[in-house]
Amino acid sequence: MTLHHARIFTVRSLLRSTALAGLAVLAGCAGTPGPSVPFQQGHSLDAAKAAVITCSPNAKRGGNTAVVSSYVGGIIFAGILGPLIVYPVQEDIRDSGEASAVDRCLADLGYERRKLTAEEVRVLNLTYGEQRRVLLDHLVAGGSLDTYGSAGV
């Protein structure tokens, strides 16, 4: 292999590694959830709040682990450029890691994340006080806006 071919090979390897690290970082960021409620059929808002409080201490550790893993992965895949790729999105990575850690804990307690529809978010934003609490209770228990009125609420 000539020196010229070795340089081309090295540049291609570097670009490929950088692209792979970038994709890995972006894939990690895509996991940050939007508006949602912890869902478990038949459970109440108060039970879900207690579960979230129980699982909250896992968030910090999960976020830190995600960031450290991203830096290590960046170095492995892109060498010295890895940290430069991770740094600008580390808060997104941390947020995603925190949410994932809490989700894993909630799953152990029998809950799953139920993403709210745009209409549910809109209605919740327009609702206050006891009416909002009752609607959230309904959503946590597995209901939807379609069944909210017919549930005798």
Within 56-111, where are the H helices? 57-78, 82-86, 90-108
Same domain, 67 and 24: yes
pLDDT in tens, 94-146: 999 999 999 999 999 999 988 999 999 999 999 999 999 999 999 999 888 88
pLDDT in the model for residue 65: 96
The residue range of the domain holding 25 is: 3-115
Domain match, 87 and 51 both: yes
Residues 39 and 62 placed together within one structural domain of the fold: yes
3-class DSSP assignment, residue 29 = helix
For the entire predicted model, the pTM comes to: 0.68
- Shared domain check, 105 and 54: yes
Domain shared by 58 and 78, yes or no: yes
One-letter amino acid for residue 33 of the chain: P
Segment 5-58, tens digit of pLDDT? 444 444 444 334 333 333 343 334 445 556 888 989 989 999 999 999 999 999
Domain total in the chain: 2
Instruction: Verify that 135 and 88 share a domain, yes or no.
Output: no
Chain center to CA of 35: 11
DSSP element (H, E) containing 35: none
Are 80 and 134 within one domain? no
Pair type for strands 112-115 and 36-39 = antiparallel
Both 100 and 149 in one domain: the answer is no
Residues 123, 106 within the same domain: no
> Using an 8 Å Cβ cutoff, are 66 and 28 in contact?
yes
Query: CA 10, 67, 81 angle in degrees (round to 5)?
Result: 20
